[in-house]
Amino acid sequence: MKKTICVLAISFALGASGCYYDVEEELYPEIECDTQNATFSGAVQPVLSQNCLVCHSAAVNTAGITLEGYNNLKVHVDSGRFLGAIKHQAGFSPMPQGGPQLPECDILKIEQWISDGAPNN
Ligand code: HEC
């Protein structure tokens, strides 16, 4: 009985460290950054879902800011508050609040999307 528990514990530990490794790869992406074809659905929305919507979904609406859905986000893109916040520029509240700045490549893709006119693509 004791043996079984021990084996289970070891395989759980190995499994857990495997998961941790996967996460680390996401945290430290490769340095190359392909900003071509940076679309709303492909490059912007997933970043918001992972890093922002916990506070800025339509339901939570922290600080009166909803970033869920293209039309809601576009308001803050057009005002310049969105880019200022994620780039941690002076005069803006640095976002995501309480977390590290977004990976540089994510910011570069978002900037590319905005300079393409922030289309709903
Ligand atoms: C933990 C909750 C939380 C998360 C996560 C979060 N925000 Fe915020 N956000 C806030 C709060 C609170 C404020 C109001 C802060 C203030 O006015 O100083 C705010 C304000 C803002 C503003 C207005 C900033 C300004 O200076 O006008 C923008 C834009 C914004 N958030 C975008 C984002 C984006 C984009 C993300 C994800 C990258 C994000 N937030 C993640 C809580 C959060």
**Per-domain residue ranges of the chain:** 1-30, 32-115
Query: pLDDT at residue 63 above 50?
Result: yes
Distance 71 CA to ligand 1 centre (A): 17
Q: Residue 9: what pLDDT?
A: 47
Distance 109 CA to ligand 1 centre (A): 19
Q: Are 72 and 57 in contact (CB under 8 A)?
A: no
Q: Are 52 and 67 in contact (CB under 8 A)?
A: yes
Whether the model pTM is above 0.85: no
Distance 95 CA to ligand 1 centre (A): 5
Binding site membership of 115 for ligand 1 (Cβ less than 6 Å) = no
Binding site membership of 86 for ligand 1 (Cβ less than 6 Å) = yes
Q: Are 72 and 63 in contact (CB under 8 A)?
A: no
Mean pLDDT value of segment 23-44? 80
Share of the chain above pLDDT 90, in %: 74
Cα distance between residue 106 and residue 85, in whole Å: 14
Average pLDDT, the chain: 86
Binding site membership of 94 for ligand 1 (Cβ less than 6 Å) = no
Binding site membership of 75 for ligand 1 (Cβ less than 6 Å) = no
Q: Residue 40: what pLDDT?
A: 98
Query: pLDDT at residue 74 above 70?
Result: yes
Range list of H helices, the chain: 2-27, 45-51, 53-56, 70-79, 81-86, 104-115
